[in-house]
Amino acid sequence: MNSPAFDHNLYAGCAAQIISHTRELAAKGFTPATAGNFSIRMGPEHAAITISGKDKGHLTEADIMVVNMANEPVATHHRPSAEAALHTHLYRRFPDVGAVLHTHSPTQTIAGLLHADEGRVRLRGFELFKALRGHTTHETEFDLPVVPNSQDMDELTASVDVVLTQPNTWGYLIAGHGLYAWGRDISEARRHLDAFEFLLGCELEMRRLRA
Amino acid sequence: MNSPAFDHNLYAGCAAQIISHTRELAAKGFTPATAGNFSIRMGPEHAAITISGKDKGHLTEADIMVVNMANEPVATHHRPSAEAALHTHLYRRFPDVGAVLHTHSPTQTIAGLLHADEGRVRLRGFELFKALRGHTTHETEFDLPVVPNSQDMDELTASVDVVLTQPNTWGYLIAGHGLYAWGRDISEARRHLDAFEFLLGCELEMRRLRA
Amino acid sequence: MNSPAFDHNLYAGCAAQIISHTRELAAKGFTPATAGNFSIRMGPEHAAITISGKDKGHLTEADIMVVNMANEPVATHHRPSAEAALHTHLYRRFPDVGAVLHTHSPTQTIAGLLHADEGRVRLRGFELFKALRGHTTHETEFDLPVVPNSQDMDELTASVDVVLTQPNTWGYLIAGHGLYAWGRDISEARRHLDAFEFLLGCELEMRRLRA
Amino acid sequence: MNSPAFDHNLYAGCAAQIISHTRELAAKGFTPATAGNFSIRMGPEHAAITISGKDKGHLTEADIMVVNMANEPVATHHRPSAEAALHTHLYRRFPDVGAVLHTHSPTQTIAGLLHADEGRVRLRGFELFKALRGHTTHETEFDLPVVPNSQDMDELTASVDVVLTQPNTWGYLIAGHGLYAWGRDISEARRHLDAFEFLLGCELEMRRLRA
């Protein structure tokens, strides 16, 4: 008898958490027109990830598949989204990362476009830096990396790989495409995502008001 | 015995879908003060369409009528809204269009006014172009047509007809009046509408921040 | 036996409508920190009106009293808000007005401050003018009057009285204080209010984007 | 038999009120990434206060502890947030203060940063001043104090102490960190908080539109 491809109880728990978070993120307008993708690591070999093209505000377990760390589907006929490569890249690079959330809010899309040439959004003086694991004060600068968008996933993954030089970065923007945020589990990834959305929103607002 | 004017089961299904979408669109502020109209094609001859002057957030089946492709009411004493002509124009011109959604958000109203002289809103570099059927990359320009408003429906329909020159356009703005978006079915039309709202919102924001 | 001071069934119906609308208006952020007041005419002599200082998002029938057209309380120990005078002023001046809604959104507050010197907000070219009774085209100007604020109700009422010179105006702003909107019944008053909020929001946005 | 450390029925009532308000404040986006803290005074010696690091939109009684006026935990193993010191500072300084709410909205964060050098946000001419206890007219100036942020609670408390010179101030901003608002009970504190958020939002908007 073959052992099962993955632990189905673990999968069911991951799917339920993804569904719960995506419902909230869709309600905030972070997943327009089926954009966005969300995953939770299932051990060293697998991740549960949302299937492409689904309305992220109304997911069911059928909309979540399992991939391995080479982006191959596991025990399903569904094909993973091209963007699954960006999730598995983070799982392979950082063994302690347990969840990756990719959203597409207006703030995230615009902040990436405006800072694409600089290659980063430089933030200063926010108390909410302390919501990012490893950061303990507002009296510092925090650089959120920005990479150019590409339809070639190998090119895009390579661009991302070179900008992740600082510890405790927890996110990056793709210009005109949105934000990737991660953490040790989905609650932490979500806290990081919510913090980045807030900080980027403040930064854009300061830019409007200081001009 | 007369055959029925239309398939009432099909009508009931179309009405239910319209009601479901309009409830969400009203909650987003896209149907202020009873503005907006929404339709689903019922075969080559008919469309189910919202009746004028109703609160689009609280529709019932009684608020949805059937028209033929000459804008005449079918099996009802209700008169269609003048704007029904813009729906049937699209159904006659594009046989594969299955649903038309007209909304009136602040972003759509303002974007049309600001770009009325240019006759289009030119968008560049957004990943979300891929939410529009037939578009596969961000590395392109997308022109959303803008026509001047008119209380003369023949004049307005003629203005619209001449700007629909490119395939896979899926929408147009009427200056100071809002957006028309369509697709092969109401889910696709909705995805296109949500994508346009997002893209126009980003464009207006970029304009605010770059000045 | 004394005849009752007013028809209690009519009162119950008016209270229920006020409660329904204020719940929605509070959810939109139009009644911050207990601001706002709302009334429905009960015949030529009376109006049902919200009591001052109540959380407008959570009203009950106990939060709605009856006043006469001289602003005196009827069959209650509650004292009317000073602003009841602005409601009864409209009921006395316009016999066909059936409901008056006073809200305090950021847009309404700011638009009044910015246009206080001009004494009006001039709007042009919006399709949504047609949501205001008596207006049939976008190809026109619409002036929404603005009066300076005052803590002296007689002074404020007199200021309002002189600016209501045009038919089908349906609303006015008090600078830094918000909007009064009315109609033949509460549904029409609400449609007018929603239209003014939308139009003023577009106007402020156009101002931001054209500077 | 030891007398209980505090009245558990009073505690349960305070916890329920905190939970009710934080649910609403979280829904408005005022508690991003677990930011914010909220307390109600329990007599001269104690306060019920939210525990650090919890999702403020989904609190339960287990997420609320009791501290004494020296910031020491009472009858619990939980440690208070460092920011509890800012709550007890207000309770010790103003015997009539019954509740303190600390939120972290984008408007509050930005307003503090923009006005940090001035040490205050000067507001003029808003009717909503009357939502602040002791204020009866719009024809006045209101200064909301702004203090610089610090990770040293003694330094921060001392900064706050020196700016609270005017009666009926009811709030202060910490630059890049958010708003502290208070009142005689939590309903009044909430009304003050909602009024400050509204007034600061209008002030930032006026700044955008007048430049």
D93: its two tokens: 């300084």
Cα B100 from Cα B98, distance rounded (Å): 7
Report pLDDT for D122. Answer: 98
**Percent of chain B scored above 70 by pLDDT?**
99
**Percent of chain D scored above 70 by pLDDT?**
99
Residues of B in contact with C179 (CB under 8 A): none
Instruction: Confirm if B39 and B50 have CB atoms less than 8 A apart.
Output: yes
Q: CB neighbours (10 Å) of residue C37? A: 28
Residue A114 in domain: yes
Report pLDDT for B3. Answer: 77
Nearest by CB to residue A138, choosing from D32, D110, D177, is: D177
Is C102 assigned a ligand-binding role in the annotation?
Answer: yes
Residue C2 in domain: no
Identify the three-state secondary structure at position C188: helix
Between the alpha carbon of residue C13 and those of residues C39, C60, C79, C80, C182, the distances in Å are 12, 12, 21, 20, 18
Q: What residues does B180 pair with on adjacent strands?
A: B102, B172
Using pLDDT thresholds of 50, 70 and 90, give the confidence band for residue A2. Answer: low
Write phi, then psi, for A97 (nearest 5 degrees). -75, 130
Residues of C in contact with B208 (CB under 8 A): 208-209
Q: What residues does C147 pair with on adjacent strands?
A: C174
pLDDT tens digits, D155-189: 999 999 999 999 999 999 999 999 999 999 999 99
pLDDT at D211 over 60: no
Q: Do C149 and D127 touch (CB under 8 A)?
A: yes
Cα B19 from Cα B16, distance rounded (Å): 5
How far, rounded to the nearest angstrom, does the alpha carbon of residue C115 sit from its chain's CA centroid?
Answer: 19
Is A192 assigned a ligand-binding role in the annotation?
Answer: no
Report pLDDT for B4. Answer: 84
Q: Does D175 touch chain A (CB under 8 A)?
A: yes
- Determine which of B121, B151, B200 to mutate to test the interface with C (most C C-beta atoms within 10 Å): B151
What is the mean predicted confidence (pLDDT) over A57-69? 97
Residue C111 in domain: yes
Q: Does D18 touch chain C (CB under 8 A)?
A: no
Instruction: Confirm if B184 and B94 have CB atoms less than 8 A apart.
Output: no
Between the alpha carbon of residue A99 and those of residues A129, A174, A189, the distances in Å are 20, 18, 6
Counts for chain C of helices (H) and strands (E), in that order: 5, 8
Residues of A in contact with B138 (CB under 8 A): 149, 151, 176-177
DSSP at D73: B
Q: Does A106 touch chain D (CB under 8 A)?
A: no
Q: Do C125 and B113 touch (CB under 8 A)?
A: yes
Using pLDDT thresholds of 50, 70 and 90, give the confidence band for residue B163. Answer: very high
Q: Does B52 touch chain C (CB under 8 A)?
A: no
Looking at CA atoms only, how far is residue C54 from chain B in angstroms?
Answer: 25
Identify the three-state secondary structure at position D68: strand
pLDDT at B211 over 70: no
Residue-wise burial string across D175-199, b where 16 or more C-beta atoms lie within 10 A, e elsewhere: bbbbbbbbbeebebbbbbbbbbbbb
The β-bridge relationship of strands B141-147 and B171-174 is parallel
B171: its two tokens: 């929408």
Between the alpha carbon of residue C144 and those of residues C164, D56, D98, the distances in Å are 10, 42, 43
Using pLDDT thresholds of 50, 70 and 90, give the confidence band for residue D2. Answer: low
Instruction: Confirm if B17 and B100 have CB atoms less than 8 A apart.
Output: no
Cα C147 from Cα C162, distance rounded (Å): 10
Helix (H) or strand (E) holding D67: strand D64-68
Report pLDDT for B136. Answer: 96
Write phi, then psi, for B80 (nearest 5 degrees). -70, 155
Residue A92 in domain: yes
Helix (H) or strand (E) holding D200: helix D186-210
The whole domain housing D177 covers 8-210
pLDDT at B143 over 60: yes
Q: Subunits with at least 3 CB pairs below 8 A relative to chain D?
A: A, C
Q: Does D127 touch chain C (CB under 8 A)?
A: yes
3-state helix, strand, coil in chain B (%, to 5): 40, 20, 40
Q: What residues does B147 pair with on adjacent strands?
A: B174
Residue A1 in domain: no
Residue B72 in domain: yes
Using pLDDT thresholds of 50, 70 and 90, give the confidence band for residue B18. Answer: very high
Binding residues of D: 102, 104
A38: its two tokens: 């969300």
Q: For residue C72, give the nearest of C152, C22, C6, C162 by alpha carbon.
A: C6
Residue D3 in domain: no
Q: What residues does D124 pair with on adjacent strands?
A: D141
Using pLDDT thresholds of 50, 70 and 90, give the confidence band for residue B173. Answer: very high
Instruction: Confirm if D180 and D157 have CB atoms less than 8 A apart.
Output: no
pLDDT at A194 over 80: yes
Residue B3 in domain: no
pLDDT tens digits, A106-156: 999 999 999 999 999 999 999 999 999 999 999 999 999 999 999 999 999
ipTM reported for the complex, 2 dp: 0.94
Instruction: Confirm if C135 and C142 have CB atoms less than 8 A apart.
Output: yes
Between the alpha carbon of residue B42 and those of residues B19, B20, B70, B79, D74, the distances in Å are 16, 17, 14, 18, 69
Between the alpha carbon of residue C106 and those of residues A76, A113, A204, C35, D146, the distances in Å are 52, 29, 20, 12, 22
Write phi, then psi, for D118 (nearest 5 degrees). -70, -25
- Determine which of C30, C104, C108, C109 to mutate to test the interface with D (most D C-beta atoms within 10 Å): C109
pLDDT tens digits, B26-65: 999 999 999 999 999 999 999 999 999 999 999 999 999 9
| Residue of chain C minimizing CA distance to D27 | C27
Instruction: Confirm if B182 and B100 have CB atoms less than 8 A apart.
Output: yes
Residues of B in contact with A211 (CB under 8 A): 209, 211
Q: Does B131 touch chain A (CB under 8 A)?
A: yes
- Determine which of C28, C151, C173, C210 to mutate to test the interface with D (most D C-beta atoms within 10 Å): C151
Q: Do B109 and C131 touch (CB under 8 A)?
A: no
Report pLDDT for C107. Answer: 98
pLDDT tens digits, D12-43: 999 999 999 999 999 999 999 999 999 999 99
Largest distance between two CA atoms of chain B: 68
Helix (H) or strand (E) holding B48: strand B46-50
Q: CB neighbours (10 Å) of residue C139? A: 12
| Residue of chain C minimizing CA distance to B112 | C126
Using pLDDT thresholds of 50, 70 and 90, give the confidence band for residue A211. Answer: low
Q: CB neighbours (10 Å) of residue C169? A: 19
Q: Does B207 touch chain C (CB under 8 A)?
A: yes
Q: Do B206 and A151 touch (CB under 8 A)?
A: no
Report pLDDT for B210. Answer: 79
Q: Do A138 and D104 touch (CB under 8 A)?
A: no
Reading across the β-sheet that carries D46-50, which strands appear in turn? D64-68, D46-50, D37-42, D99-103, D178-183, D171-174, D141-147, D120-124
Q: CB neighbours (10 Å) of residue B184? A: 14
Cβ within 8 Å of residue A112, ≥6 positions away: A146, A173, A174, A175, A176, A177, A178, A179
Q: Which range (A78-82, A85-89, B168-172, D62-66) has the least confidence?
A: A78-82
Identify the three-state secondary structure at position B51: coil
Q: Do A109 and B125 touch (CB under 8 A)?
A: no
Q: pLDDT (tens digit, 0 to 9) for every residue of chain C, 211 residues total? A: 567 899 999 999 999 999 999 999 999 999 999 999 999 999 999 999 999 999 999 999 999 999 999 999 999 999 999 999 999 999 999 999 999 999 999 999 999 999 999 999 999 999 999 999 999 999 999 999 999 999 999 999 999 999 999 999 999 999 999 999 999 999 999 999 999 999 999 999 999 887 5
Write phi, then psi, for B45 (nearest 5 degrees). -110, -20
Q: Does D1 touch chain C (CB under 8 A)?
A: no
Q: How many domains does chain C have?
A: 1
DSSP for D90-112 reads: HHHH-TT--EEEEE--HHHHHHH
Q: Subunits with at least 3 CB pairs below 8 A relative to chain A?
A: B, D
B160: its two tokens: 């619209």
Using pLDDT thresholds of 50, 70 and 90, give the confidence band for residue D3. Answer: confident
- Domain of residue D206, CATH code: 3.40.225.10
Q: Do C198 and B114 touch (CB under 8 A)?
A: no
Q: Does D82 touch chain A (CB under 8 A)?
A: no
What is the mean predicted confidence (pLDDT) over D2-9? 87
Report the C-alpha dihedral over residues A4, A6, A9, A10, rounded to 10 degrees: 160
Report pLDDT for C124. Answer: 96
- Determine which of B30, B52, B56, B110 to mutate to test the interface with C (most C C-beta atoms within 10 Å): B110
Q: Do C204 and D209 touch (CB under 8 A)?
A: yes
pLDDT tens digits, B196-207: 999 999 999 999
Q: For residue D38, give the nearest of D201, D189, D197 by alpha carbon.
A: D189
Using pLDDT thresholds of 50, 70 and 90, give the confidence band for residue A3. Answer: confident
Instruction: Confirm if C111 and D202 have CB atoms less than 8 A apart.
Output: no
Mean per-residue pLDDT of chain A: 96
Work out the end-to-end distance of chain D between its first and last CA atoms, rounded to an integer number of angstroms: 68
